[in-house]
């Protein structure tokens, strides 16, 4: 079996690549990644020499390149994670999101359809998406697979669009597809533009912790290794044409999570209790900021038997330990272009 994983040098993708390369030595895993600011081959150092792993640098927006790649390798399965993934960047530069998340996805769908022709047996196009396509919840309720799409940011709108296109290729052409929509991930190798690694980095450097608005927005956090295991479960046992929601049943108001993180960091850094909390700085709210995300993952748990392996406190501590032990990784990704991004975003 030849599997193409797109975006495998990114945060979640690198965990999926690692899991598949180690767990399935008989599969040939191809990691296609453009290596944008978010892609980092350092994430895959431990598996890059494995005989069943190949890295290919390339852009999913380049349709001809993608078609040639499919013609050459005749993949049996695609696990599509490549995307522009940060909401704040989608507010300042939406076009990149339209190109990669929408046009790039259609290029992959067209190429899979072209090489598989009408013989779809044992073939699968698995599209990785987000719970943000469902919009924003008030204090009650959960997103289920039946919740109507209502995206608010250019990021979530571009992901919603790609989800619709994947379903359209299933309905119209019979392409064997499956989609999963996951809640916020955290864990090692996450680029420090997202809440948890950004705040870890700022606490280490004793810089202000920029909390949007009043810090009352709620997110449902899942450890990235558990997302990778859900992807493994769905790729092998999910039903073609179906959608599965993935979540940690682990809701946190931002400010409460930040305070827990501050406590863990004080302890790990040997600082006085309360030291990191002093860095909390409330700043102007994100435009169109969704109030609450919460996933109902009953379908995945009941039908496919998946469940998360870690409690949040344990996962958070593991994450902090990893960032503290990998200061070189953190320093490398926060030099250069990151500084410009940071200045512009938080000026
Ligand atoms: P990430 O930004 O860390 O990684 C994205 C990867 O895609 C990078 O390696 C980047 O180089 C690559 N890439 C970007 N544009 C490309 C292009 N045009 N061609 C080829 N490669 C390209 O993202 P992530 O957080 O790992 O998210 C991965 C996927 O999971 C995305 O589809 C995202 O929408 C989805 N998702 C993320 C979360 C989360 O909390 N991070 C939650 C649910 C779903
Ligand atoms: P983020 O990690 O960007 O994920 P998403 O927007 O996709 O959920 O943000 C998580 C929450 O943290 C979100 O409510 C926005 C908030 N946040 C801040 O308050 N300050 C920040 O600097 C960032 C990056 C996020």
Pairing outcome for strands 77-80 and 53-57: unpaired
3-class DSSP assignment, residue 337 = helix
Task: Give how many domains the chain has, as a whole number.
Answer: 1
* pLDDT value, residue 248: 87
Q: Is residue 192 part of a domain?
A: no
pLDDT at 143 over 80: yes
- Express each pLDDT in 233-284 by its tens digit: 999 999 999 999 999 899 999 999 999 999 999 999 999 999 999 999 999 9
As a whole number, mean pLDDT of residues 332-341 equals 94
Q: Is residue 204 part of a domain?
A: no
Closest ligand to 9 CA?
A: 1
Q: Which residue's alpha carbon is nearest to atom 23 within ligand 2?
A: 195
| CA gap 154, 191 in Å, rounded | 20
Arithmetic mean of pLDDT over the chain: 97
Structural domain range at position 31: 2-186+221-248+289-311+339-346
As a whole number, mean pLDDT of residues 308-316 equals 96
% of residues, the chain, pLDDT over 90: 99
Q: Is residue 16 part of a domain?
A: yes
The DSSP annotation for 58-107 comes to --TT-HHHHHHHHHHH--SEEEE------HHHHHH-HHHHIIIIIIHHHH
Q: Where residue 18 falls among pLDDT bands split at 50, 70, 90?
A: very high
Which helix (H) or strand (E) segment holds residue 267: the answer is helix 254-269
> Which ligand 2 atom minimizes the distance to the CA of 346?
22
As a whole number, mean pLDDT of residues 132-154 equals 98
Q: Is residue 17 part of a domain?
A: yes
Residue 272 backbone dihedrals phi, psi, to 5 degrees:
-65, 140
13 pairs with which residues across the strands?
Answer: none
pLDDT at 91 over 90: yes
> Which ligand 2 atom minimizes the distance to the CA of 153?
6
User: Which are the catalytic amino acids?
Assistant: 131-132, 155
pLDDT at 45 over 80: yes
Q: Is residue 28 part of a domain?
A: yes
pLDDT at 118 over 80: no
The alpha carbon of 103 and the centre of ligand 2 are apart by a number of angstroms equal to: 26
Q: Where residue 347 falls among pLDDT bands split at 50, 70, 90?
A: confident
The alpha carbon of 120 and the centre of ligand 1 are apart by a number of angstroms equal to: 27
3-class DSSP assignment, residue 292 = strand
The alpha carbon of 277 and the centre of ligand 1 are apart by a number of angstroms equal to: 30
Q: Is residue 327 part of a domain?
A: no
Q: Is residue 199 part of a domain?
A: no
> Which ligand 2 atom minimizes the distance to the CA of 213?
19
Q: Is residue 156 part of a domain?
A: yes
**Dihedral sign from CA coordinates of 335, 337, 340, 344:** negative
* DSSP state at residue 143: B
- Express each pLDDT in 215-237 by its tens digit: 999 999 999 999 999 999 999 99
The alpha carbon of 295 and the centre of ligand 1 are apart by a number of angstroms equal to: 20
- Express each pLDDT in 160-214 by its tens digit: 999 999 999 999 999 999 999 999 999 999 999 999 999 999 999 999 999 999 9
pLDDT at 30 over 90: yes
Q: Which residue's alpha carbon is nearest to atom 22 within ligand 2?
A: 210
| CA gap 13, 191 in Å, rounded | 12
Q: Which CATH number covers residue 127?
A: 3.40.50.720
């Amino acid at each position: 079996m030849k599997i193409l994983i797109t975006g495998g040098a990114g945060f979640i993708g690198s965990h999926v690549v690692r899991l598949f390369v180690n767990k399935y030595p008989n599969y040939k895993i191809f990691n296609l990644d453009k290596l944008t600011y978010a892609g980092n081959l350092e994430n895959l150092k431990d598996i890059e020499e494995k005989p069943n792993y190949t890295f290919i640098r390339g852009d999913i927006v380049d349709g001809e390149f993608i078609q040639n790649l499919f013609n050459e390798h005749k993949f049996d399965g695609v696990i599509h994670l490549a995307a522009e993934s940060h909401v704040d960047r989608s507010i300042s530069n939406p076009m990149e999101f339209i190109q990669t998340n929408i046009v790039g996805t259609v290029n992959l769908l067209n190429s899979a359809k072209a090489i598989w022709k009408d013989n779809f047996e044992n073939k699968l196009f698995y599209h990785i998406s987000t719970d943000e396509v469902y919009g924003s919840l008030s204090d009650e309720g959960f997103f289920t697979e039946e919740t109507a799409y209502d995206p608010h940011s250019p990021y979530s709108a571009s992901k919603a669009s790609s989800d619709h296109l994947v379903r359209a290729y299933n309905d119209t052409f019979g392409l064997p597809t499956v989609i999963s929509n996951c809640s916020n991930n955290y864990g090692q190798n996450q680029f420090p533009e997202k809440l948890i690694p950004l705040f870890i980095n700022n606490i280490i450097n004793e810089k202000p912790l920029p909390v949007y608005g009043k810090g009352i927005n709620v997110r449902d956090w899942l450890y990235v290794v558990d997302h990778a295991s859900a992807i493994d479960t769905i790729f092998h046992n999910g039903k073609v044409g179906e959608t599965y929601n993935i979540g940690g049943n682990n809701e946190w108001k931002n400010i409460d999570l930040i305070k827990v993180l501050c406590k863990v960091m004080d302890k790990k850094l040997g600082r006085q209790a309360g030291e990191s909390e002093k860095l909390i700085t409330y700043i102007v709210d994100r435009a169109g900021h969704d109030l609450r995300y919460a996933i109902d993952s009953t379908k995945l748990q009941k039908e496919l038997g998946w469940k998360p392996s870690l409690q949040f406190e344990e996962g958070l501590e593991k994450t902090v330990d990893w960032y503290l032990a990998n200061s070189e990784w953190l320093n490398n990704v926060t030099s250069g272009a990151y500084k410009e991004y940071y200045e512009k975003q938080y000026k």
